């Protein structure tokens, strides 16, 4: 992987220098070279109405003239949600590893071009949005520790920094403003419940959101958010039905996956219609229609409340603007670009709309080469892909310190990724095919 990264970095540096003539200057300067790296469509998807070249060039030039390093901030990689459709475990896998490698490549190009250097701060925002989706804090922290493990393993800690968003905000703003942020969030939650709650009918989501999305801009945001996070919300009641003793079977076993899939497929139906009989629904032990209906009612209510809390979090930080307060000269990367931000492509070119935390990473064999892929777990297993599991290691203090999240993945039966050709993994040849084709 390091060889491939070096090749891409060198090629990108040459592209940046060759494209600097796009500026209306007789002789391109350092700031122009650096700015062109941000417009390299291998890593970025820039739009002039979001952040024009000249505006970014002036910002880069000002920082370099002051002798300051370029600080990039990227809110991403919150956590892997408990979602048996999306994944088979909560630790970073090949998808996160690939995203970190892309982040390192892009940052190293800018670092090499800028005389003051460059550093990318990944603002892992799992605890921020955990107030909405309610994934257990311990799971979020374990995910962040896994990211830090891979940063160290890839030897990119000089340019990539993993930061917990909430801790970063608490350390960066005055205590009085932090208290005001909390009050603002609570007030916003109350306002959303009061204003939109009466339009929500748990038995008919389609009708509810047809009304809500036409109320105003916030209604449209709530509508979009609900359907975005309904498969990422933590549903504790779902796992109480399982009597299995292992973590994997309780959260990712076939019976849980079937019930979870039934829930997702029921969301566009009236609750009473989809649960009247169990004839066409997968069974979860003995769960009669009335019990299934009550469970799905609870899960729908939880997803609705999660969506309102999520929107309240977004509205609060949009009002407070912590990033501008703490790092006013920062260059912000995002996966959903808005004005003043740069859209970074954190997945493969083929899977540009996917993100690592909401899928399972994998390797597919294609034209004599291995390619990284981002897919939902359900899609991979339906297509007959094979999970890549780790050889068992004894649970010891040494192994815990050395292998960290890999040992935890092994203990929880979580794959490192999936592959279409397990033979290449078993023979230890996958990395050579990846290196050869880049």
For Cα atoms 381, 386, 390, give the angle at the middle one, nearest 5 degrees.
Answer: 125
The per-residue pLDDT for 286 is 54
What is the average pLDDT value for the chain, to the nearest integer?
A: 88
Q: How far apart are CA 357 and CA 144, in angstroms?
A: 11
Higher pLDDT, 237 or 211: 211
The per-residue pLDDT for 338 is 82
The per-residue pLDDT for 204 is 96
Note whether 390 and 93 are within 8 A (CB): no
Q: How far apart are CA 228 and CA 81, in angstroms?
A: 13
The per-residue pLDDT for 350 is 83
Higher pLDDT, 280 or 201: 201
Q: What is the mean pLDDT of residues 272-293?
A: 65
The per-residue pLDDT for 273 is 76
Report DSSP state, residue 436: H
DSSP secondary structure, 225-286, as one string: HHHHHTTTS--HHHHTT----SHHHHHHSHHHHHHHHHHHHHTTS-HHHHTS-STTS---SS
The per-residue pLDDT for 8 is 67
Q: How confident is the model at residue 32 (pLDDT cuts 50, 70, 90)?
A: confident
Higher pLDDT, 285 or 168: 168
Q: What is the mean pLDDT of residues 61-69?
A: 93
In this predicted structure, the answer to whether residue 438 has a pLDDT above a threshold of 50 is no
The per-residue pLDDT for 145 is 96
pLDDT in tens, 246-257: 788 888 888 888
In this predicted structure, the answer to whether residue 321 has a pLDDT above a threshold of 80 is yes
The per-residue pLDDT for 242 is 66
The per-residue pLDDT for 21 is 57
Q: How far apart are CA 243 and CA 418, in angstroms?
A: 28
The per-residue pLDDT for 181 is 96
In this predicted structure, the answer to whether residue 406 has a pLDDT above a threshold of 60 is yes
The per-residue pLDDT for 315 is 96
7: which residues sit within 8 A by CB, 6+ positions away?
A: 438
Pairing of strands 360-366, 369-375: antiparallel
The per-residue pLDDT for 185 is 97
Closest C-alpha to 313, from 182, 200, 209: 182
Q: How confident is the model at residue 77 (pLDDT cuts 50, 70, 90)?
A: very high
Q: What is the mean pLDDT of residues 218-246?
A: 89
Q: What is the mean pLDDT of residues 324-331?
A: 94
The per-residue pLDDT for 387 is 94
Burial 185-216 (b: 16+ CB within 10 A, else e): beebbeebbebbeebbeeebbeebbeebbeee
Give me the phi and psi of 362, to 5 degrees please: -160, 175
Q: What is the mean pLDDT of residues 198-223?
A: 96
Give the domain ranges of the chain.
Answer: 2-174+321-343, 176-318, 356-437
In this predicted structure, the answer to whether residue 434 has a pLDDT above a threshold of 90 is no
33: which residues sit within 8 A by CB, 6+ positions away?
A: 16, 17, 20, 113
Q: How far apart are CA 429 and CA 417, in angstroms?
A: 16
In this predicted structure, the answer to whether residue 395 has a pLDDT above a threshold of 50 is yes
pLDDT in tens, 335-362: 987 888 999 999 888 888 899 999 999 9
Cross-sheet strand order for the sheet of 118-124: 160-164, 118-124, 70-75, 331-334, 342-343
CATH fold of 2-174+321-343: Rossmann fold (3.40.50)
Note whether 409 and 252 are within 8 A (CB): no
Question: What is the value of pTM for the model shown?
Answer: 0.90
Cα dihedral 289, 293, 294, 296, rounded to 10, equals 130
The per-residue pLDDT for 268 is 92
Q: What is the mean pLDDT of residues 225-249?
A: 85
Q: How confident is the model at residue 17 (pLDDT cuts 50, 70, 90)?
A: low
In this predicted structure, the answer to whether residue 137 has a pLDDT above a threshold of 70 is yes
In this predicted structure, the answer to whether residue 366 has a pLDDT above a threshold of 80 is no
């Amino acid at each position: 992987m390091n060889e491939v990264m070096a090749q891409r970095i060198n090629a990108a540096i040459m592209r940046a220098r060759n494209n600097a003539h796009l500026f209306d200057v007789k002789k391109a300067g350092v700031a122009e070279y650096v700015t062109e790296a941000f417009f390299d469509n291998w890593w970025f998807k820039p739009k002039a109405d979001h952040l024009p070249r000249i505006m970014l060039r002036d910002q880069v030039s000002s920082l370099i003239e002051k002798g300051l390093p370029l600080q990039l901030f990227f809110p991403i990689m919150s956590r892997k949600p408990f979602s048996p459709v999306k994944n088979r475990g909560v630790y970073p896998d090949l998808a996160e590893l690939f995203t970190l490698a892309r982040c390192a490549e892009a940052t190293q190009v800018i670092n090499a071009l800028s005389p003051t250097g460059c550093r990318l701060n990944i603002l892992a925002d799992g605890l921020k949005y955990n107030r909405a989706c309610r994934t257990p804090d311990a799971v979020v922290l374990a995910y962040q520790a896994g990211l830090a493990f891979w940063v160290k393993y890839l030897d990119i800690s000089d340019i990539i920094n993993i930061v917990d968003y909430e801790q970063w905000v608490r350390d960066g703003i005055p205590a009085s403003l932090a208290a005001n942020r909390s009050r603002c969030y609570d007030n916003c939650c109350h306002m959303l419940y009061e204003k939109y709650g009466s339009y929500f009918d748990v038995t008919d989501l389609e009708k509810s959101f047809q009304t809500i999305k036409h109320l105003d801009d916030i209604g449209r945001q709530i509508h979009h958010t609900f359907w975005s996070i309904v498969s990422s919300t933590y549903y504790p009641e779902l796992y109480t039905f399982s009597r299995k003793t292992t973590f994997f079977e309780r959260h990712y076993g076939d019976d849980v996956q079937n019930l979870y899939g039934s829930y997702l497929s029921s969301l566009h139906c009236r609750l009473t219609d989809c649960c009247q009989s169990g004839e066409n629904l997968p069974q979860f032990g003995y769960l009669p229609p009335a019990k299934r209906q009550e469970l799905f009612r609870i899960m729908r209510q939880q997803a609705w409340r999660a969506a309102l809390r999520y929107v309240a979090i977004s509205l609060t930080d949009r009002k407070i603007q912590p990033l501008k307060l703490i790092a006013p000269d920062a260059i912000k990367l995002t996966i959903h670009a808005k004005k003043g931000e740069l859209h970074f492509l954190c997945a493969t070119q083929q899977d540009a709309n996917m993100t690592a935390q909401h899928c399972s990473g994998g390797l597919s064999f294609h034209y004599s080469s291995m390619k990284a892929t981002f897919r939902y777990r359900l899609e991979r297993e339906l297509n007959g892909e094979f999970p890549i599991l780790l050889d068992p290691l004894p649970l010891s203090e040494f192994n815990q310190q050395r292998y960290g999240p890999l040992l935890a993945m092994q203990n929880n039966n979580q794959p490192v990724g999936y592959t279409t050709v397990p033979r290449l993994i078993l023979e230890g040849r996958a990395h050579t095919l990846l290196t050869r084709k880049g």
